[in-house]
Amino acid sequence: MAIKDKLSGNEAIAVAMRQIDPDVVAAFPITPSTEVPQYFSQFVANGQVHTEFVAVESEHSAMSACIGAEAAGARTMTATSSQGLALMWEMLYIAASLRLPIVMSVINRALSGPINIHNDHSDSMGARDSGWIQLYCENNQEAYDNLIQAIRIAEHKDVQLPVMVCYDGFITSHAVENIELIEDEKVKEFIGEYKPQYSLLDRDNPISMGPLDMPAFYFEHKRAQAEAMKNAKRVILEVAQEFEKLTGRKYGYFEEYKMEDAEVGIVIMNSTAGTAKFVVNELRKQGIKAGLIKLRVFRPFPFEELGKALSHLKAVAIMDKAESFSTAGGPLFTEVRSAMFDYAKDTKAVSYIYGLGGRDVRPDEIMGVYKDLLEIARTGQVKSTFNYLGVRE
Amino acid sequence: MTKERKMNIREDASWKEMLQGGHIIDAGNAEDFKTGDWRSMRPVWLPDKCKQCLLCWPVCPDMAIPVENGKRKDFDFDHCKGCGICVEVCPFKAIDFVEEE
Amino acid sequence: MGRMIEIRWHGRGGQGAKTASLLLAEAAFDTGKYVQGFPEYGPERMGAPITAYNRISDEPITIHSNIYEPDYVIVVDETLVSAVDVTAGLKKDGAIVINSAKDPEEFRPLLKGFEGKIYTIDARKISVEELGRYFPNVPMLGAIAKITKLMDEDAFIEAMERSFHHKFATKPHVIEGNMRALKRAMREVKGL
């Protein structure tokens, strides 16, 4: 039976890491991710895990140590936020291109400057093309569930790619909510033993990793890396199915909330999706056919599936908690609208950038977005494609 | 002496045939690559002066001095890059160093 | 759908308002509720006004914004009543609970026309007398449980006792003191 508990997002992640019991954790503290290595190092000190905990001097070193450990054949995990992720940047690409299945929690926080410790998605959105799989989480439960599934996805022989599990700083990381945990032994059984295909410490099969790749070969290796990302699409669903059998909790590329008969909807990620569900319920009470899609898997991007899921809407708002400075909407908008070009040509799409630097998003503001969408649906006219929600004009 | 090769480091290999991440799993695969054409200077072995002391053999970075039955033979020019270390180390001036033509 | 209760806490950095909000979430969880407990993080300085929140419901809670129209406001430090707009957005039929030795109506003139219920609890006196030190959290929780009727009283007392046994396993005298403080607060809250 599931274990009912109440935990903050960071506590839930630390518990999941204790149950996973990785071989190596190398981490450097940064708000709001600090509690993850802090709680986990207590498990190490108490002897509850067999993990080698490497306290490093920077996030660049943290990711470097993770790469070294994973290349040596160790199941390796870490956590970071914001500037920490930014400092890891060059190593992120190396982890992915060396095909090292490291699993990292990214506790989403705005990037400086100006300096800000609060939540938005500019950190992980900036790393979207680094070759890491990215899973996004609405609450502590999803953070916990996704972290456990991430191990299986990353280490699958057809994938062999690192995974970021992203959840909102403070809003999810520091809020205590109800959660259902899985028993330790069931988690162990689900993730299985890590058997790396190639490892530097395999004496019988000597190997070099990270060689210079000339123009005659680099492109082929990148093409193979892209194929692994394609394979991840299949593996993510397979792992989700197994996870559902274990827990009864259903996961896919995205969650469709009251979408079957919806006429207007929004596409959104992480904790604000929960607030938006509350708004959808309020609208439904008024007889308005509102729905929402909460994207879980941003990398690989579910291009066809998401495009098709929006095809029956009259209007959709795509909400970004990150600014791309393209002057043409946030990163999520750009990609969703690109999918809609092939699969949802008749649905009007608008962009909203919201919640930057921890600006709280109130239900009435999201209600305002739906009101805008209803107006677009009624008139068939889009007055403003690129919008900001909750900024003082 | 060609070993069994598991990798496909060939310029006509498709991405599907190549190993993930550019990992190199075949030790000693340098012998598959003719790097001798990098050479601008060429060592010339003078068997008459050579005392077979074999001091040249361990210092060669490219293992381009074949040894059989305790005696060195002429250079492996498929892999000698002309660094000249053997020339410097030879106590008997039994290796000349000339410009490659 | 069951009613969702929203609570806002006002305290000063270092006084434990955040911890109190987490304790309330824990107690409500232990009586079978869905809960949220979260602080609003700002510049964290000792003594600076801080805000924390609770949502408590019989149904799962998805909303993740701050709380703007609370059902209850809890003021852990009475000097905040004049320093912060503590009744901002407080529902007309809501209530405010203030940690103070004063009578509730003495605060009415300071609360900017707030017409709802005002309660006071002398958490300092109870805490000092029962625990020998000033830890306002437990008496505050007792008062809140009494006022809000969020949880069945007996279930709440049992949940708190379990929690104390867990936290103070090696200090049984602390458990007794806390239980006395809790029950006294439930009796002594003014304004009922």
CATH topology for the B35-99 domain: Alpha-Beta Plaits (3.30.70)
Query: What letter would DSSP give residue C101?
Result: S
The more confident residue out of C135 and A295 is A295
Closest CB from A118, A176, A362 relative to C65: A362
Q: Where are the domains positioned within chain A?
A: 3-247, 255-389
C-alpha Rg value of chain C to the nearest Å:
16
Closest CB from A172, A176, A361 relative to C37: A176
pLDDT value, residue A294: 98
Q: Is A119 on the interface with B (CB under 8 A)?
A: no
Count of helices and strands (H, E) across chain A: 13, 15
Q: How far from chain centre, in Å, is Cα A347?
A: 26
* Residues contacting A189, CB < 8 A, separation 6+: none
Q: How far apart are CA B20 and CA B16, in angstroms?
A: 9
Q: Is B4 on the interface with A (CB under 8 A)?
A: no
Please determine, for residue C1, whether its predicted confidence score (pLDDT) is greater than 50: no
What is the least distance, in Å, from the CA of A95 to any CA of chain C?
Answer: 33
Which residue of chain C is at minimal alpha-carbon distance from A275?
A: C63
B/C touch flag: 3 or more CB pairs below 8 Å: no
Report whether C30 contacts C55 (CB < 8 A).
no
Sheet holding C5-12, edge to edge: A3-8, A176-181, C34-40, C49-57, C5-12, C72-75, C95-99, C117-121
**In A, which residues are within 8 Å of B9 by CB distance?**
217
User: Which helix or strand (DSSP H or E) is residue C153 part of?
Assistant: helix C153-167
Joined together, the tokens standing for residue C105 give 């109506």
What is the total count of domains within chain C? 1
Of A115, A114, A116, A106, residue with least CA distance to A147: A106
Chains near A, with 3+ CB pairs < 8 A? B, C
pLDDT (tens digit per residue) in B14-69: 999 988 899 999 888 888 888 899 999 999 999 999 999 999 999 999 999 999 99
Q: Which of B20, B25, B33 to mutate to test the interface with A (most CBs of A within 10 A)?
A: B20
pLDDT value, residue B3: 58
**In A, which residues are within 8 Å of C61 by CB distance?**
177, 274
Please determine, for residue C169, whether its predicted confidence score (pLDDT) is greater than 90: no
User: Which helix or strand (DSSP H or E) is residue B62 part of?
Assistant: none
Closest CB from A205, A211, A220 relative to B18: A220
State the residue range of the domain holding C167.
Answer: 5-188
User: Could you give the dihedral angle defined by the CA atoms of residues C60, C64, C66 and C68, in that order, rounded to the nearest 10 degrees?
Assistant: -60
Report whether C55 contacts C67 (CB < 8 A).
yes
Joined together, the tokens standing for residue A229 give 């990302």
pLDDT value, residue C44: 67
pLDDT value, residue A327: 96
Which residue of chain A is at minimal alpha-carbon distance from C40?
A: A170
Closest CB from A198, A219, A228 relative to B23: A198
What is the least distance, in Å, from the CA of A204 to any CA of chain C?
Answer: 51
**In A, which residues are within 8 Å of C25 by CB distance?**
6, 176
The CATH number given to whatever domain includes residue C168 is: 3.40.920.10
Which residue of chain B is at minimal alpha-carbon distance from A98?
A: B21
Q: How confident is the model at residue C2 (pLDDT cuts 50, 70, 90)?
A: low
- Say yes or no for a CB contact (<8 Å) between A172 and C64: yes
* Residues contacting A289, CB < 8 A, separation 6+: A261, A262, A263, A264
Which residue of chain A is at minimal alpha-carbon distance from B21?
A: A98
ipTM, 2 decimals? Answer: 0.92
Strands (E) across chain A are located at: 3-8, 24-27, 52-55, 76-80, 103-108, 133-136, 163-168, 176-181, 254-257, 264-268, 290-295, 297-299, 315-320, 348-354, 386-389
Q: Where are the domains positioned within chain B?
A: 35-99
* Residues contacting B34, CB < 8 A, separation 6+: B78, B79
Closest CB from A117, A118, A360 relative to C65: A360
What is the least distance, in Å, from the CA of B18 to any CA of chain A?
Answer: 7
Q: Is C88 on the interface with A (CB under 8 A)?
A: no
Q: How far apart are CA A25 and CA A76, in angstroms?
A: 6
Closest CB from C38, C39, C63 relative to A274: C63
**pLDDT in 10s for each residue of chain A, 393 residues:** 789 999 999 999 999 999 999 999 999 999 999 999 999 999 999 999 999 999 999 999 999 999 999 999 999 999 999 999 999 999 999 999 999 999 999 999 999 999 999 999 999 999 999 999 999 999 999 999 999 999 999 999 999 999 999 999 999 999 999 999 999 999 999 999 999 999 999 998 899 999 899 999 999 999 999 999 999 999 999 999 999 999 999 999 999 999 999 999 999 999 999 999 999 999 999 999 999 999 999 999 999 999 999 999 999 999 999 999 999 999 999 999 999 999 999 999 999 999 999 999 999 999 999 999 999 999 999 999 999 999 999
Other CB atoms within a 10 A radius of the CB of residue A187 amount to 20
pLDDT value, residue B1: 39
**In B, which residues are within 8 Å of A210 by CB distance?**
21-22
Q: Is A215 on the interface with B (CB under 8 A)?
A: no
Please determine, for residue B13, whether its predicted confidence score (pLDDT) is greater than 60: yes
Q: How far apart are CA A282 and CA A276, in angstroms?
A: 10
Of A338, A289, A343, residue with least CA distance to A311: A343
Q: Is C26 on the interface with A (CB under 8 A)?
A: yes
**In C, which residues are within 8 Å of A171 by CB distance?**
38, 64
What count of Cα atoms within 13 Å lies in the side-chain half-sphere of residue A269? 31
**In A, which residues are within 8 Å of B21 by CB distance?**
97-99, 209-210, 221, 225
Closest CB from A6, A175, A363 relative to C29: A6
Of A56, A52, A92, residue with least CA distance to A72: A52
- Say yes or no for a CB contact (<8 Å) between C36 and A171: no
What is the least distance, in Å, from the CA of A341 to any CA of chain C?
Answer: 32
Of A179, A92, A191, residue with least CA distance to A138: A179
Q: Is A285 on the interface with B (CB under 8 A)?
A: no
User: Domain A255-389, CATH 3.40.50.280 — does that match?
Assistant: no
What is the DSSP code string of A94-151?
HHHHTT---EEEEEE-PPSSS---S--SHHHHHTTTSS-EEEE-SSHHHHHHHHHHHH
Closest CB from A160, A208, A224 relative to B24: A208
Residue A72 has φ and ψ, to the nearest 5°, of -80, -5
pLDDT value, residue B90: 98
pLDDT (tens digit per residue) in A118-137: 999 999 999 999 999 999 99
Query: CA-CA distances (angstroms) from residue A382 to A212, A268, A348, A351, A377?
Result: 51, 20, 7, 11, 9
Which residue of chain A is at minimal alpha-carbon distance from C34?
A: A178
User: Could you give the dihedral angle defined by the CA atoms of residues A54, A60, A64 and A69, in that order, rounded to the nearest 10 degrees?
Assistant: 30
Report whether A109 contacts A82 (CB < 8 A).
yes
Which residue of chain A is at minimal alpha-carbon distance from C35?
A: A177
The CATH number of A3-247 is 3.40.50.970
Q: How many CB pairs below 8 A link A and B?
A: 49
